[in-house]
Amino acid sequence: MNKNALILPEDYADWLAELKKRIHGARQRALLAANHEHIRLYHDIGMDILQRQSRQGWGAKVINRLSSDLRAAFPEMKGLSTRNLKYMKFFAQECPDFQIGQQSAAQLPWFHIVILLGG
């Protein structure tokens, strides 16, 4: 027998499988939490746009400028196009309570929300 051979505990394979399962679960929960925050941010931006347009009476050109300024401030972030800001506004308008049917919108990816809104 090789002196340098590693002798693993009897339950090593089961333990490794359990750790892999826990790691996968934690990663999935982290992705869902990040998605929840992302969708909440989009909803909040949409609500801000709705409220400010209502109070101040400005139109689409401000959304164009907002998109440009946000993309300049966050060049690594996708989803700040004029079109997407308009989807955010529509999302907030159509789902003011942040619900789509019986499911919280935060549980859906943004792309699916846009499809549901008719985009």
Residue 107 is predicted with a pLDDT of 73
pLDDT, the chain, mean = 88
Looking at the chain, the whole-number percentage of residues with pLDDT higher than 90 is 64
Query: Cα separation of 85 and 79, whole Å?
Result: 8
- Mean pLDDT within 93-100: 81
**Residue 74: band (very low, low, confident or very high) from pLDDT cuts 50, 70, 90:** very high
3-state SS track over 66-113: HHHHHHHHCCCCCCCCHHHHHHHHHHHHHCCCCEECCEEHHHCCHHHH
- Mean pLDDT within 85-112: 80
Distance (Å) of CA 49 to CA 14, 27, 32, 76, 92? 53, 33, 26, 22, 9
Residue 118 is predicted with a pLDDT of 79
109 Cβ neighbours under 8 A, 6+ residues apart: 35
Residue 52 is predicted with a pLDDT of 95
Whether the Cβ atoms of residue 39 and residue 110 lie closer than 8 Å to each other: yes
Q: What's the whole-model pTM score? A: 0.76
User: Per residue in 5-62, pLDDT tens?
Assistant: 788 999 999 999 999 999 999 999 999 899 889 999 999 999 999 999 999 988 889 9
Element (H, E) at 45: helix 12-56
